[in-house]
């Protein structure tokens, strides 16, 4: 099994009776899931099975996909709800130094000046910018989570992925 894998999407239920299945892409641009060449699923004992899409169509806000030689629902039933991955080494290179993958940001410690606010547990994507979700145990008065807009140079002052910390200018 691969040690470093990145979640790209997940299959849903089958669509019709001719071998189509729903696909939920977790990539920022949903269509980018089709750009990766070595995508795979894991079975129940974590064995890797590489998959290759034959056709895809837009369905509502996601896709339906078909595989070559799978022509009915019995042949794709084992894919229902399976997660789709790529290995860490398959990630596209950064377009520039100021772009980050979410998995790199999750787990970073967030500091306001020299005060630890907490640790990034997730992000939310909005139309204008992303939001850092920070879990904190330090403030009894404040809720257990702090939400901070991911706006570089204004709120996000420094990101050090090697040391897993983010410097922010944010008042509670």
CB of 131 within 8 A of CB of 106? no
Fold of 5-90: Elongation Factor Tu (Ef-tu); domain 3 (2.40.30)
CB of 172 within 8 A of CB of 139? yes
31-74 per-position pLDDT tens digit: 888 888 888 988 777 788 888 889 999 988 889 999 887 888 88
CA distances from 27 to 34, 92, 125 (A): 10, 12, 11
What's this model's pTM, rounded to 2 decimal places? 0.65
Q: Is the pLDDT of residue 132 over 90?
A: yes
Percent of the chain exceeding pLDDT 90 equals 32
Confidence of residue 133 (pLDDT cuts 50, 70, 90): very high
User: Structural domain boundaries of the chain?
Assistant: 5-90, 102-168
Helices vs strands, H then E, count in the chain: 2, 13
Domain 102-168 classified CATH 2.30.30.240? yes
Q: Is the pLDDT of residue 97 over 60?
A: no
What residues are paired with 106 via a beta bridge? none
Confidence of residue 142 (pLDDT cuts 50, 70, 90): low
């Amino acid at each position: 099994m691969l040690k470093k894998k990145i979640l790209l999407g997940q299959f849903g239920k089958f669509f019709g009776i001719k071998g189509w299945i729903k696909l939920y892409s977790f990539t920022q641009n949903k269509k980018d899931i089709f750009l990766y060449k070595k995508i795979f699923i894991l079975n129940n004992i974590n064995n890797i099975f590489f998959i290759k899409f034959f056709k895809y169509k837009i369905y509502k806000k996601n896709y339906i996909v078909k595989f070559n030689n799978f022509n009915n629902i019995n042949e794709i039933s084992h894919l229902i709800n399976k997660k789709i991955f790529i290995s860490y080494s398959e990630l596209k290179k950064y377009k520039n130094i100021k772009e980050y993958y979410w998995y790199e940001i999750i787990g970073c410690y967030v500091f306001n000046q020299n005060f630890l606010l907490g640790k990034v547990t997730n992000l939310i994507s909005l139309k204008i910018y992303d939001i850092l979700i920070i879990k904190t145990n330090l403030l009894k008065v404040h809720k257990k989570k702090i939400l901070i807009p991911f706006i570089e140079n204004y709120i996000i002052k420094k990101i050090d992925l090697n040391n897993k910390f983010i410097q922010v200018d944010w008042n509670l």
